[in-house]
Chain A
Amino acid sequence: MEHDTNSLILLAAILVPLLSGVIALLGGRLNTSALRSISALGFGIPLIIGIYLFCHFDASLVGEYNFELRAPTGLESIGIYLHLGLNAISLPLFLLAGVVGLAAGLYAMNSKAERLNLYLALLLFMLGGLMGTFASVDVFFFYFFHEFALIPTFIMIGMWGGAGRRGAAIEMTIYLTVGALLSLLGLIALYVQSGVDSFSLLELRNYLHEKPLGETVQSNIFALLLFGFGILVSLFPFHSWAPKGYAVAPSGAAMLHAGVLKKFGLYGLLQIAYPLLPAGGEHWFSLIVWLALGNILFIGLVTIAQKDLKMMLGYSSVMHMGYAFLGLATFSVVGVGGALLMMVAHGLSVALLFMLATCIYHRSQTFDMSAMGGLATKAPVLAAFFVAGTMASIGLPGFGNFWGEFTIFAALAETQHTRWIVAPAAIGIIISAIYGLRAVANIFFGQPKEGFAAHLESDSVVDMKLSEKLPALVLIVALVITGLFPRLLSDNANSELTNLYPVQDTLPHHEAIALPSTTDGHKELTH
């Protein structure tokens, strides 16, 4: 019976934030502390459930789902069920959504946003949608929950966004809607072409494993999914919505969208498109590689040119997506595993940085990095967090991002035809160091710029408050855990990916002479 309980608990991870959102929305007369407690429940419980399910996850169910729940929806005739469950690929993202949701919620709860109850309600709806997206086995609901989470993003940008929000919101809406529609077309095409009469990913997968689609069909459907999902993940050159959109988005929306919702596209490619349409992946290989290099090199350089902190973070986030695409493009367990780690770690670090950007703005009243300087003397803790976030995002070991990037580089070097990509892709580690450290130096180090010095003197510039430290700490701790113990995520994912992706026998096995391993190991060498 434990199994059933756990599936209901999984369902609760979706329903609790939705319900608390409804209460926050309707209970307009709730006093602030009641509102906070309700939303704290909504933001906290998904993560607690995520951790609980993580502990009860049965890794031996390779190729199947844990905590499965299947409920009728009235759409059985075309094979749509509310089918929930987690596998070793969706679990890390489910946890990611929980962690970022908690951090964004904690930060938002103490923000001074107008109509706080509406703001929190929308964030809670978004979180509920996100939990649902990654808990869905049914492709229809996978898509539905994504759209469900997307709508609050638009509304939040429209209502609480910064200057220029109108244009940015329109551009973002158009792009994301187009991306979503294309991927929907792709998913429906997949459903129609397979003829399996089910939207269940499991059934689709088993069926297509038996009877793969023809190569042309595969590559056509793959194209729809690639560009649809690609737009959602800001694949070059369909990225321009991202920096501008994030620049005007309120922090909660930016954290959840850039951190988690954006990973929907990659997740779709990883869990659906590549395993079900391998021939499509092969057909579009070169294009993906070139576009991903565009993300890394072209956008990387564009990032260097940014003066606005949030634009810089937005572009850097676009840039890092290039690595994830490269990992997927290798179509190997190593590369896809690297992409998975990258998705999780990037989600944490980008959410942290967007949050800290808002913290900086509250002290500097500007996002223009060239107009700041010397903030570290007034706010050392904020500086420390920002340095940590930057270091995580540029791939310093000790944070999860490093494992993602490194594993992807290793995957690219695995086979002869992808080996050349390592060097251009790795130039990104220099580019990201340049813009990351420049930002740190411009904002925090040196002497304050003219005009900013007087501003720094005012009493309003204080170090981070507890309400800011707490969410930042949640994200940093998660980043360090993924950095120190990547196996927590990778071991299970490895068995699942080995089931979905081919393992090549590329590792050479050379003859070796056993050398004395003790103190005089080198003696052997020099003689």
Chain B
Amino acid sequence: MTATQSLLFALLTPLASAALIAFFLRRRGALASYVSVAAAAAIFVFTVLAIRGMGEGVVASWDWLTFGNFNVSMGFLFDGTSATMLTMVAFVGFLIHVFSLGYMADDKARARFFGGLSIFMFSMLGIILADNLIMIFIFWELVGFSSYMLIGHYLDTEEAAAAAKKAFIVNRIGDLGFLVGIVYAYWHFGTTNLSEMQGIVAANSELISATIAALLACGFIGKSAQFPLHVWLPDAMAGPTPVSALIHAATMVAAGVYFLIRITFLFPESILCGIAILGTSVAVYAGFCAYGQNDIKKILAYSTLSQLGYMAAAFGLGYPGIALFHLITHAFFKALLFLGAGSIIHGCHHEQDIFKMGGIFKKMPVTSITFLLGVLALCGVYGFSGYFSKDAILIAAGLQGNVLFTLLTIGALLTAGYMGRLVWIVFFGKPKSEAAEHAHESGIAMLLPLIILAVLSVAGGYLSLWPEQLGQIIRDSKDDLHHLAGYDAMHFRVAILGSFAAIVGLLCSLLFYGWGASEDRLEKKAGPVYGFLKARLWFDEIYGYYVAKIQQRLANLLSVLDIFLIKGVLVRGSAGVVGIFSMASKSLHVGNIHGYVYWFLIGMIFFWVVATGLF
């Protein structure tokens, strides 16, 4: 099998699985789940085959639509970057599928869930492999749809229904810019093919357009939930936890960053700088927000936002490889953390409030140990995967200036702090609720993915262990960094500061919140501060106000205007052509439909008579 064929199979298998489930397995949840897991396994196998055959090169392109000089094609660009991303998505995706077997075993709509996962895998693979902007956009919209479908899985709850809608609409706002950017790019470069555009800007760098780059980056802002479109991601936690792990932590939200990496060459310095600032602010902002949350999944969601900010910062600083590096390690440990949270939630009978947990370590040892390894990786403790990638980002920031560096270091401190808060409260002390009292360790289908992800979270940062076909862009970016003046000193400084941040954050949170606390000490001691953090700068309130009080009122006003003004005055009352005719017809008829029919027939006969010359 050639690499191209393997990729095609990898892409189409999940689509086939989704179609099979939708049409035939709707009522057979168990079978549907096996089909979906088998499809996920097949994706991984095909991915491995494709990477083995990479040497021969992948050339694949099909015309999809042509009108005049506008042409849309579908094709694969299978290089080191996409191979790396594909491997991660295929592997993590497979593990999460397996986890879902256990987690969703009792769900009534299991078939819909697994069908949704398959559609998601299909769409995500499309984004990864796409060789042009239009194809990326197509699959981009499709991941948005699968995300909508899976967030809304518990569709009889108002919360899930609202969150799904919000996620889709907020993403569409970003996609508006993305879409405009694509059509501008098409006529600007004469193509949207990634390699061709890269060749064009390499030949003439004056063609790089800040407008187009900024518009395309809007897509990233929506999908990766960056400011000001970040509001959908915390709400998206209303979906089942495996979905949060797969889509809203490891893969889809990271697709925004991946997209930026794919089009690095289109970015001028100014926009890169903007993205670096944006990412850094989100990294810090989301870190603060996490302290105001009591829902274990929402804490992790803000952590995801913050880490996406780090990736954006790395990209903005000019190191797309390092952004990809952090994307991959983050996928390992954040998938682990979400699945761990899922295991805890499952064990505690769907309790999500951390202050109602406690003492989980004794009840669920495997889940707890793997979760703790994930926490250490996220905090960037020396030797864990997160250390290597976050370290590289901090070095890159440190070599370019102090402001971003300081902010990102504060972000690291915040990370360790809120994760410490979560850990001390959830795992230790005494169980604080009936549910936590009866918590039980999960089954093997859920533990196995946790263990494998824990291994990856620990060891995933050692690039030398990676297959040689993968991660070339990461090595390149790291090399670039190495060659900069002052690297060694900065490396030393970051290692010290990073470890300091991790240790201080974890310890301080222990000292402040206490071992297995049953209430939030910050809330008790400094209510206004807690309230401020919980309010998350009132973005949801502002947007809510806009939707309810401005947009809806404008819509209602226009609706009234439409009925009275346009219908009543402009069209009917005016002396315009239409007005005359409508009045004429009104005076002729009294509203009897048959009358109109006769008039019509008489008119036709009259015309006929004139035409045939009888008149």
Contact = CB atoms under 8 A, between A and B. Distances in A.
A409 interface: yes
Contacts of B179: 406, 409, 426, 429
A185 B214 CA distance: 49
A507 B176 contact: no
A144 B383 CA distance: 81
A79 to B, nearest CB: 9
Contact of A523 (B112, B476, B556): B476
Contact of B83 (A305, A397, A491, A519): A519
Interface in B137-190: 137-139, 141-142, 145, 148-149, 152, 155-158, 160-162, 164-165, 168-169, 172-173, 175-176, 179-180, 183-184, 186-190
Contact of B265 (A237, A333, A398, A525): A525
B571 interface: yes
B200 A511 contact: yes
Nearest to A487: B65
Contacts of A305: 552, 555-556, 558-559
A397 B138 contact: yes
Interface in A231-254: 231, 237-238, 240
Nearest to A502: B68
Interface stretch (A16-24, A28-36, A88-96, A167-175): A167-175
A510 B187 CA distance: 11
Contacts of A510: 189-190, 200, 203-204, 207
Contact of B80 (A302, A503, A521): A521
A413 B158 contact: no
Nearest to B581: A178
A447 B156 contact: yes
Given A433-B168, A438-B165, A376 B155 contact: yes
Interface stretch (B88-96, B342-350, B537-545, B589-597): B589-597
A437 B165 contact: yes
A377 interface: yes
Interface string B317-339: 00011000000000000000000
Contact of B577 (A227, A412, A427, A498): A227
Given A445-B156, A497-B68, A511 B204 contact: yes
A522 B169 contact: no
B158 A437 contact: no
Contacts of B600: 147, 151, 177
Contacts of B563: 240
Interface stretch (B240-248, B279-287, B516-524, B607-615): B607-615
Nearest to A304: B555
A411 B556 CA distance: 32
Contacts of A240: 562-563, 566-567, 571
Given A334-B69, A429-B176, A434-B169, A441 B162 contact: yes
Contact of B596 (A173, A493, A517): A173
Interface stretch (B191-199, B370-378, B416-424): B191-199
Contacts of B582: 174-175, 178
A114 interface: no
Interface string B400-436: 0000000000000000000000000000000000000
A522 B472 contact: yes
A413 B165 contact: no
Given A237-B571, A508-B188, A304 B551 contact: yes
B66 to A, nearest CB: 6
Contacts of B64: 486-487
Contacts of B176: 423, 426-427, 429-430
A42 B611 CA distance: 33
A414 interface: yes
B24 interface: no
B554 interface: yes
Contacts of B180: 409, 413, 422-423, 426
Contacts of A177: 585, 596, 600
A447 B117 CA distance: 25
A337 interface: yes
Contacts of B571: 237-238, 240
Main secondary structure of the interface of B (DSSP, over half): helix
Nearest to B472: A520
A446 interface: yes
B63 interface: yes
Nearest to A438: B165
B57 interface: yes
Contact of B187 (A333, A380, A413): A413
Interface stretch (A52-60, A70-78, A343-351): A70-78
Interface residues of B, number: 104
Contacts of A506: 69, 187
Contacts of B141: 396-397, 402
B294 interface: no
A526 interface: yes
A298 interface: yes
A407 interface: yes
Contacts of B578: 178, 227, 231, 238
B199 A512 contact: yes
B477 interface: yes
A368 B455 CA distance: 54
Nearest to B591: A170
A304 B562 CA distance: 13
Interface in B469-510: 469, 472-473, 476-477, 480
B472 A155 contact: no
A75 B161 CA distance: 62
A80 interface: yes
B586 interface: yes
Contacts of A412: 183
B605 interface: no
Contacts of B158: 445-447
Contacts of B562: 240, 298-299, 302
B558 A301 contact: yes
A9 interface: no
B351 interface: no
B430 to A, nearest CB: 36
Given A508-B187, A521-B195, A526 B577 contact: no
A332 B68 contact: yes
Interface of B: 22, 26, 54-55, 57, 59, 63-70, 72, 77, 79-81, 83, 109, 112, 134, 137-139, 141-142, 145, 148-149, 152, 155-158, 160-162, 164-165, 168-169, 172-173, 175-176, 179-180, 183-184, 186-190, 195-196, 198-200, 202-204, 207, 264-265, 320-321, 469, 472-473, 476-477, 480, 551-552, 554-556, 558-559, 562-563, 566-567, 570-571, 577-578, 581-582, 585-586, 591, 593, 596-597, 600, 604, 608, 611-613
9 contacts: A154-B596, A240-B563, A304-B555, A380-B26, A397-B138, A422-B184, A434-B169, A445-B155, A521-B198
Given A445-B161, A510-B189, 20 more contacts: A74-B612, A155-B593, A301-B551, A304-B551, A334-B68, A396-B145, A406-B179, A407-B65, A407-B70, A412-B183, A490-B65, A497-B67, A504-B69, A506-B69, A510-B204, A519-B55, A519-B80, A521-B80, A524-B202, A525-B265
Interface of A: 74-75, 77-78, 80, 144, 147, 151, 154-155, 158, 166, 169-170, 173-175, 177-178, 181-182, 227, 231, 237-238, 240, 298-299, 301-302, 304-306, 332-334, 337-338, 374, 376-377, 380, 384, 387, 391, 396-398, 402-403, 406-407, 409-414, 419, 422-423, 426-427, 429-430, 433-434, 437-438, 440-441, 444-447, 486-487, 490-491, 493-494, 497-498, 501, 503-515, 517-527
